[in-house]
Homo-oligomer: A and B are copies of this chain.
Amino acid sequence: MQGRPTINDVAQAAGVSKSAVSYALSGRGRIGAETRERVLAVAAELGWQPSQQARGLSSSRTYAVGLVFARPAELIGADPFFAPFIAGVEAELSHHKYALLSQVIVGGEAEEEEGYRRLVSGGRVDGMILTDLRDFDPRIGLLRDLGMPYVAVGRPMQAIDGPAVSNDDSASVTSAVDHLADLGHQRIAQVSGSRALVHGLERERAFHRALAARGLYAGTVIPGDFTGQSGAEGMSALLGLSPRPTAVIFANGLMAIAGMQEAARQGVSVPADISVVALDDNPIAPFVTPALTAVHTDVLLWGSLSARTIMAWIEGESDTSDVTLTSELVVRGSTAPPPSP
């Protein structure tokens, strides 16, 4: 016996059959308590852990979940979502002996599709977690056709027969607008992220609803793409407007920080002349000058809930209903009352 011990080694050492060892471990009855204890003791002594690979082959399972994450090169290191999200996913998966096959890809939709194909076609995973959901996302049809369980991170437009775990983007935007309106702002603009993503659209609609609810006129929306550059360009465009908005809501922290830099470059002071809020928080946000007011989401929890949901589907539990998280506005230094006219 060299290398990892196998179930045969344990069976022999304990003087029982292979099946007895298997049943002892899974605890699926059919074995005496005394025998079971002995087998378990022997297994522990030999340091035996069942091969997930063999286990998977015979049970037609992999005990692994897949996650593909595609970003353009400029964003790959700047996105504060990925690491805590998979940390949350794994905290939950590891309790149930599941592993995560996460694929990070530099690129866009095409590269992402390729990543899916790789994970699914190699038979490596029992289910997939879908992030960056797009309207009428083709991946959903693909996975359904393959009979592969999935969970959508974000609520898609189309009706799907799978569960979604979403952040309440509408509430996030509303909290930002309300905060600014409470400070007295009347001209509020938005620099959005990608409109192709589900939550981009949702946020834009929520923006207009929230303004209307406060009796404010429709705000300008400048399209962006989550990069710092698009944040700076958005700010620049807004500063050229007349009358100029007194507050701007950016899709994420990177855009907001770049927007503040652009304002500084043009001699416009944040928050004295213009207030700034980000819809996604960033760990650097407290440390820039002024510290950035942002809507904060518990991304770790988001990951955990996604993991729990996909495992429930894989294990055939019927409890695969949708889950919604809510975010919280964190007021820091980049928002203040508008300048007096």
A contacts, CB < 8 Å to B? 3-4, 47, 49-54, 56-57, 62, 64, 69, 71, 73-84, 86-87, 90-91, 94, 97, 99-106, 118-119, 121-124, 147, 228, 231-232, 254, 257-258, 260-261, 264-265, 282-284, 286-289, 291, 299-300
Shortest C-beta distance, A105 to chain B (Å), equals 6
Cβ of A232: which chain B residues have Cβ within 8 Å of it?
287
Known: A80-B78, A84-B76. A254 touches B283 (CB 8 A): yes
Known: A80-B78, A261-B289. A53 touches B56 (CB 8 A): yes
Determine whether the beta carbon of B287 is less than 8 Å from that of A264.
Answer: no
Known: A104-B90, A284-B284, A287-B254. A124 touches B147 (CB 8 A): no
Among B50, B76, B299, contact of A83 (Cβ-Cβ < 8 Å): B76
Q: How far apart are the CA atoms of A71 and B76 in the complex, in Å?
A: 18
Residue of A3, A87, A97, A284 contacting most chain B CB atoms (<10 Å): A284
Q: How far apart are the CA atoms of A92 and B231 in the complex, in Å?
A: 32
In the complex formed, the residue of B with least CB distance to A102 is: B102
Cβ of A283: which chain B residues have Cβ within 8 Å of it?
74-75, 77-78, 228, 254
Shortest C-beta distance, A3 to chain B (Å), equals 7
Q: How far apart are the CA atoms of A76 and B79 in the complex, in Å?
A: 11
CB pairs A–B below 8 angstroms (11 shown): A69-B83, A87-B106, A99-B103, A99-B118, A99-B119, A99-B122, A100-B101, A254-B287, A258-B287, A260-B289, A261-B288
